[in-house]
Copies of this chain bind each other. A is one copy, B any other.
Amino acid sequence: MTKEAIIERLKEKGLNITSPRLAIIDVLVEDGHFHPGASHIYREAKKRHRSLSLSTTYATIHEFIRHGIIKALEFDGKENRFEGNLDEHINLICERCGKIIDYKAPISVDRLDVAKTTGFVITSNRWEYYGYCRDCIKNLNSATPTGELRKRHS
């Protein structure tokens, strides 16, 4: 997703285009494929807009989610992560370094079937595989993982 497209979307929705938001958009466009967490977005966007606060970063992220620009991947015990790729895909999540890889694979679950048999109406989904990425398998014995991104202990 391009910077211009996001700005256009914000205008359509009647949101103000502010300097903090532009800084965050820049980070999302540049580092979006990393599936960055809030602290990464904050750190990088602060370089572009010095007075940026963490709470504004969170507020902006929420605003973007609410308007369908990004999607949140929520975790417990780790930082949440955010992605701009809204096409249906599987996220491959490395348990060692935290890297997240998009994997395109057609998932054929008929939503009508789900509704018919359970009465459940689907609004969104979450497809994830956990495991180890290529790099981490290579270095499984070596000392420290390369990634940032661990919340609490263990």
Mark the stretch among A19-27, A132-140, A142-150 that contacts chain B.
Answer: A132-140
Q: Mark A86-114, 1 if CB is under 8 A from B, else 0.
A: 00001010110000010101011100011
Contact A94 B120 (CB under 8 A): yes
Total residues of chain A contacting the partner, CB 8 A: 36
Mark the stretch among A1-9, A39-47, A48-56, A122-130 that contacts chain B.
Answer: A122-130
- A82 → chain B, closest Cβ, in Å? 12
Q: Can you give 22 A-B contacts (C-beta < 8 A)? A: A74-B74, A74-B75, A74-B77, A76-B80, A90-B109, A92-B118, A92-B122, A95-B123, A101-B120, A103-B114, A103-B117, A105-B109, A107-B107, A118-B133, A118-B134, A120-B129, A120-B133, A120-B134, A122-B131, A123-B132, A126-B128, A126-B130
